[in-house]
Amino acid sequence: MPSNQQILLDNRPTGEALVSNFKMVTADTPALKDGQVLVRHHFLSLDPYMRGRMNDAKGYTAPQALGQVMIGGTVGEVVESRSPKFAVGDTVVGMGGWQQFSVVDAEQLGALRKVDTTHVPLSHYLGAVGMPGVTAYYGLVKIIEAKAGQTVVVSAATGAVGSAFVALAKARGCRAVGTAGGPDKCKYAVDELGFDACVDYKTHQDAGSLSKAIKGHCPDGVDGYFENVGGMVLDAVLPLMNAFGRIAMCGMIAGYDGKPVPMSYPALILMSRLRVQGFIVSEQMDVWPEALKELGMLVATGKLKPRETVAHGLQAAPEAFLGLLKGKNFGKQIVKLI
Amino acid sequence: MPSNQQILLDNRPTGEALVSNFKMVTADTPALKDGQVLVRHHFLSLDPYMRGRMNDAKGYTAPQALGQVMIGGTVGEVVESRSPKFAVGDTVVGMGGWQQFSVVDAEQLGALRKVDTTHVPLSHYLGAVGMPGVTAYYGLVKIIEAKAGQTVVVSAATGAVGSAFVALAKARGCRAVGTAGGPDKCKYAVDELGFDACVDYKTHQDAGSLSKAIKGHCPDGVDGYFENVGGMVLDAVLPLMNAFGRIAMCGMIAGYDGKPVPMSYPALILMSRLRVQGFIVSEQMDVWPEALKELGMLVATGKLKPRETVAHGLQAAPEAFLGLLKGKNFGKQIVKLI
């Protein structure tokens, strides 16, 4: 059996996450039992939710166990199979974690999914046609319930979720406005992703100033907001929400480092009769098939052109992940393993 | 026609509301036109929402106009009628405002409603079997979607909304826990209103301490929270919410005085996948009939025994209203006019 490089969570962050929270080890891949397959990972997905799992917090999904391989989505190829469901050479998406190989119980429902790379490149199954894409779909379609003519706003506009969000929103006839960090990302959001406007939050010192800038691009107010960030952007969008608006709470990066970031004016939820709803897409499996179908079609027809930032080699994963938390990536952050 | 004492909104508060924001005047009641009735008010309702209307804020319902009679629910008796729908002597509930008499267009849908005082005292149509009762119903039934065995929490437990809330919650087999200010209110909440427990927020210096105290009475966590207050109580309950919990945002007294009170840890909405929803019951007219039917039955059968704090005479209204905002009332605050 091949030897397998792995990255474990070695210790939990006490504030900001650090490279020293992780440890790289090499293990042997165990011999397969009946029903198992061995997958060689081509790409590893890095996503903001992983920061949440590094904490030992109540209420959220199970924390990442110490001393275990970091959780994470992977795409790869079956290199050995003792399951009738998968053949050697199949391209598959799964939750293989931060390692080169994984042994998967192919019988376990949803553990591994065969994917077709004829019209969709393999790595996109980690982004636009994977978890981030479905996340955008759930927020836009199930929580915001976007309709033609409405205005929707998304933070982290050029990320994997934001890119899928705008394609889905434009397909529904919405006006889509994003926020992102830096002029390059904002230009890309409008020129390539199809946003009607994108506001560079880095040019604003406070929520009031940012709010005015966003308002300038939302002449009819905001009907739906997809929250990937929290903090100043949330404070800026909240006063712009129309009566009966919906906010899908998907990410609160700003608060992951232990310091809770307040919502400055929660009375607006009452005053504007908003619905604010948090969700985790892995708990909403029934929506995946319809979402993946639409997202696959959008990619295949060129209406959704996902951008990727690629780190090379497993050892680059921790640094790339910390960069992601600081917005250093541009589009979906992945790690190329072979 | 009789002369009519009225209280107008004279100027808007710049911080805390003051008696000097109001002005008392005397006017003649105009002659009735066809379709109109003259109502003599027996009781005027004082409610926290009125503080919101005193501001000239965007997003909420229309602000109270300056120089006009203060908005407010009233119950009284028809003393003159030029409408076939109402006879002299009918007891009616309406939105007559802070004055002794009102002229009502009886043809206008929902402007005036005949009520039966055989089993329900007239003043209760301003509280338990009126707007505050329906408010409790909407939050508990339509937003929290309370089910048997679940734990629900309400702030301002002994107020008009809180008293109705607990009766409706117990009728559904829920565990009901309240918060209130002072030992008398807390004892009353448990002994008379039927709460399983009530926590005196005044004995706690911060949200952390209050949270621990509430947690002690919610061994299975909190499934639904009805927010009448905001601020420290909201911060205390938020960490206790179970996954997929619901929060009905009905009142944010703490923030009405212009100083926004933050929500300290909004990331919990995501972490616990909560649904937080603001509402104004006057926008949800379709729910009133079913709500009033159940509330009337609860009062008639003694399962809901509403307590009232009565101020005497129209001139007492401003002072009583400011006291209400500070929690000086005990149960539903009304003004007896005759």
Q: What is the pLDDT of residue A49?
A: 86
For chain B, residues classed under CATH 3.40.50.720 are 131-282
Chain A residues with beta carbon closer than 8 angstroms to that of B264: 260, 262
Residue A252 pLDDT grade (very low, low, confident, very high; cuts 50, 70, 90)? confident
Q: Which residue has the higher pLDDT, A175 or A52?
A: A175
- Cα(B288)–Cα(B296) distance, rounded to whole angstroms? 12
Give the whole-number percent of chain A exceeding pLDDT 90: 85
Give the amino acid at A32. Answer: L
pLDDT at A246 over 90: yes
Euclidean distance between CA atoms B90 and B76, whole angstroms: 8
Tell me how close the Cα of B165 comes to any Cα of chain A, in angstroms: 18
Distance (Å) from the alpha carbon of B259 to chain A's nearest alpha carbon: 9
Judged by a CB distance cut-off of 8 A, whether residue B215 touches chain A is no
How far apart (Å, rounded) are the C-alpha atoms in residues A288 and A311? 27
Give Cβ neighbours of residue A9 (< 8 Å, ≥ 6 apart): A21, A22, A54, A64, A65, A66, A67, A68, A70
Q: Which of residues 104-163 of A touch B (CB under 8 A)?
A: none
pLDDT at A58 over 70: no
HSE-up of B12 (CA within 13 Å, CB side)?
14
Q: How would residue B223 be classed by pLDDT, with cut points 50, 70 and 90?
A: very high
The pLDDT of residue B255 is 56
Mean pLDDT of B112-130: 95
- Contact of A285 with chain B, judged by CB distance below 8 Å, is answered with no
Q: Which residues of chain A are within 8 Å of residue B260 when distances are taken between CB atoms?
A: 264-265, 267
The whole-number pLDDT of residue A52 equals 84
Q: Which residues of B296-314 are buried (b: 16+ CB within 10 A; e: fewer)?
A: bebbeeeebebbbbebeeb
A252 touches chain B (CB under 8 A): yes
Q: Do B262 and A260 touch (CB under 8 A)?
A: no
For the stretch B166-194, pLDDT in tens is 999 999 999 999 999 999 999 999 999 99
Q: Could you tell me the CA-to-CA distances from B302 to B120, B185, B193, B299, B305 in Å, in that order?
A: 10, 20, 11, 5, 6
Q: A2 falls in which pLDDT band (50, 70, 90)?
A: confident
pLDDT confidence bin for B2, thresholds 50/70/90:
confident
B299 vs B305: CA distance, rounded Å: 6
Tokens 């629910």, residue?
Answer: B73
Closest partner CB to A260 (pick from B241, B267, B279) = B267
The partner residue sitting opposite B255, judged by closest CB among A230, A261, A267, is A267
Are B144 and B152 in contact by the 8 Å Cβ rule? The answer is yes
Q: Using a CB-CB distance cutoff of 8 angstroms, which residues of chain B are in contact with residue A273?
A: 277-280, 283
DSSP B293: H
Say what the pLDDT of residue B26 is. 97
Instruction: Give me the residues paired with residue A80 across strands.
Output: A38
Could you give the percent of chain A with pLDDT greater than 70? Answer: 96
The CA distance from A274 to the nearest CA of chain B, in Å, is 5
Give the pLDDT of residue A251.
Answer: 84
The pLDDT of residue A60 is 59
Instruction: Give CA–CA dist A137/A284, Å, rounded.
Output: 11
Q: Check CB contact of B52 with chain A, cutoff 8 Å.
A: yes
Amino acid residing at B85? K
Q: Which is more confidently placed, B276 or B53?
A: B276
Question: Shortest Cα distance from A254 to chain B (angstroms)?
Answer: 9
Q: Nearest CA of chain B to the CA of A54: how many Å?
A: 13
Distance from CA of B209 to the nearest CA of A (A): 18
| Contact with chain B for residue A261, Cβ under 8 A | yes
Q: Which residues of A touch B252 (CB under 8 A)?
A: 266-267, 270
Residue B256's pLDDT is what?
Answer: 53
3-state secondary structure of B238: helix
CB contact under 8 A, B275 and A280: no
Reply yes or no on whether the pLDDT at B58 is more than 70: no
Quick one: pLDDT at residue B15? 85
Q: Given a cut of 70, is residue B114 above it in pLDDT?
A: yes
Could you give the residue range(s) of every CATH 3.90.180.10 domain in chain A?
A: 3-127+306-336
The answer to whether the beta carbons of residues A203 and A130 sit under 8 Å apart is: no
B230: nearest CA in chain A?
Answer: A267
How far, in Å, CA of A41 to CA of A72, rounded? 11
Chain A contact present for B48, CB below 8 A: no
> B3-127+306-336: CATH homologous superfamily?
Medium-chain alcohol dehydrogenases, catalytic domain (3.90.180.10)
Q: Do B278 and A264 touch (CB under 8 A)?
A: no
Rounded to the nearest angstrom, the minimum Cα separation between A265 and chain B is 5
Q: How far is A271 from chain B (nearest CA, A)?
A: 5
Query: Measured between CB atoms, which of A260, A269, A279 is closest to B276?
Result: A269
Total CB pairs under 8 A between chain A and B? 113
- Banded pLDDT at A253 (limits 50, 70, 90): low
**pLDDT above 60 (res A227):** yes
In this prediction, residues A45-65 reach a mean pLDDT of: 83
Q: Is the pLDDT of residue A105 over 80?
A: yes
Distance from B208 to chain A by nearest Cα, in Å?
A: 14
Contacts of A333 (CB under 8 A, 6+ apart): A45, A46, A47, A160, A308, A309, A311, A320, A321, A323, A324
Percent of all residues in chain B with a pLDDT value above 90, rounded to a whole number = 85
Count of other CB atoms within 10 angstroms of residue B103: 18
Helix (H) or strand (E) holding A39: strand A36-45
Q: Report the residue of chain B nearest A240, measured CA to CA.
A: B59
- Beta strand A222-227 with A241-249: parallel, antiparallel or unpaired? parallel
Average pLDDT value over all residues in chain B: 94
In the block, residue with structure tokens 């979402």? A291
The mean pLDDT of A80-102, rounded to a whole number, is 97
B272·A59 Cβ contact <8 A: yes
The pLDDT, as a whole number, for residue A255 is 56
Lowest mean pLDDT among A137-151, A184-198, A319-333, B167-181: A319-333
Query: And the tokens for B178?
Result: 């309240």
C-alpha A158/C-alpha A330 separation (Å) is 7
ipTM of the complex: 0.89
The pLDDT, as a whole number, for residue A184 is 95
Chain B contact probe: residue of A242, A265, A271, A274 with most B CBs at under 10 A: A271
Question: Which CATH number is A131-282 given?
Answer: 3.40.50.720
Contacts of A261 in chain B (CB under 8 A): 266-267
List all residues of chain A from 166 to 185 with a beta carbon under 8 Å from chain B.
none
User: pTM (2 decimals)?
Assistant: 0.91
Nearest 5°: the CA angle B265, A320, A7 is: 95
Asked if B270 and A278 come within 8 Å (Cβ–Cβ), the reply is yes
Q: Which residue of A has its CA nearest to B255?
A: A267
Name residues 53-72 of chain B within 8 A of A (Cβ). 57, 59-60
- Chain B residue numbers with beta carbons less than 8 Å from the beta carbon of A260 are 264-265, 267
Provide the residue count of chain A: 338
Residue in A239, A262, A270 nearest the CB of B266: A262
Res A71: pLDDT? 96
A258 inside 8 A of chain B by CB: no
